[in-house]
Structure 1
């Protein structure tokens, strides 16, 4: 399914993965995150094989899947504290306008609020590479704007982003990798202000 896929990224880069359902977008993100070993080929981080030391590789990665990974009985603050490693929560909460919800149990949050909480968790991870599977899923226009601000800040400070999407994302000057079945032109047009593509 992912035969022949090859990509490389530098600090500040962003890439959009596009393709029809079943093309392997989510699978590729899981492989890059070290959650699934590739049948062939290698994942390298600064020249080192990611699967030789998965725990070390995991320190560089923040992964957002379709599930929000929130414990329903814990408050938003308690949930995010599990990922914060002692870092202050306020900046991540503020980034996604969640401060007023911080003491609510996760089970009382709406779908959009849970998605914003999951994105706050990504910010808190302080990882170099963000792997985001449909990050705008369930977000309203204001939350997508906030997502764009977080993505821009991450890239300005040398972070990298790889995201799957079926809708436009606020990722200007993102590269594009169209998995089989997706025309490259559609991938480029899907990024707000995208200025080129590479694979």
Structure 2
């Protein structure tokens, strides 16, 4: 298989155990560039745990993870995978602009994108320099979404990205996803039904313990 046709991410018999009890798995899936996958399952089925394993925040219990055809090594894909979870990864005493400048310093910026441009794209014009702790829950989520726009990550891991967003924010997430997928990126998303994706039928990963 040529490099162009290799999956970005592949899980082979992936399982996670907590105190020797299975949380999920075994899971088998491949995600290629230009693909969106929806992670589905009941509450407690391990959706968030899976995302944290893929993000490197939890160790693989059993099975294998491959990135671009090779065993996944975190240093090899540094900056290529970005995780947005319930904890947004924002420093509360810094402004959205300062948070994005820190992200840019660590991972760089997409071509033509700056912290100010990203914040404007997500509707935070006028709030760029307010401390994050003074923003509403929806505005904080938008600041975190701006980080997705800013850094040149290939794979987005989005755990309930629609939480704390109004209908305009939900539409924003869907628009960001469509643009990212159309430009050759990939995404895994957990959601309770807010996804409205017009780029083709997404792959579905069903969680089971």
TM-score by length of 2: 0.81
Equivalent residue number for residue 37 of structure 1: 59
Determine which of 192, 195, 202 is the counterpart of 1:169.
Answer: 195
- Structure showing the higher strand proportion among its residues: 2
Secondary structure class of the residue paired with 1:3:
strand
Q: Deviations over 1:60-112 (max 9, x none)?
A: 10100101121111111111111123531133212211121101010110000
Structure 2: tracts of 5 or more residues without a match = 1-22
RMSD: 1.5
Q: How does 1:1-199 map to 2 (within 5 A)?
A: 1-50=23-72, 53-85=73-105, 87=109, 88-172=114-198, 173-180=201-208
Greater displacement, 127-136 / 74-83: 74-83
- Structure showing the higher helix proportion among its residues: 1
Instruction: Give me the whole-angstrom Cα distance separating, in 2, the residues matched to 1:28 and 1:2.
Output: 8
Equivalent residue number for residue 188 of structure 1: none
Greater displacement, 78-87 / 58-67: 78-87
TM-score by length of 1: 0.85
Number of residue pairs matched by the alignment: 179
Q: Deviations over 1:121-149 (max 9, x none)?
A: 12222110000000000001111111111
Instruction: Give me the whole-angstrom Cα distance separating, in 1, the residues matched to 2:57 and 2:151.
Output: 17
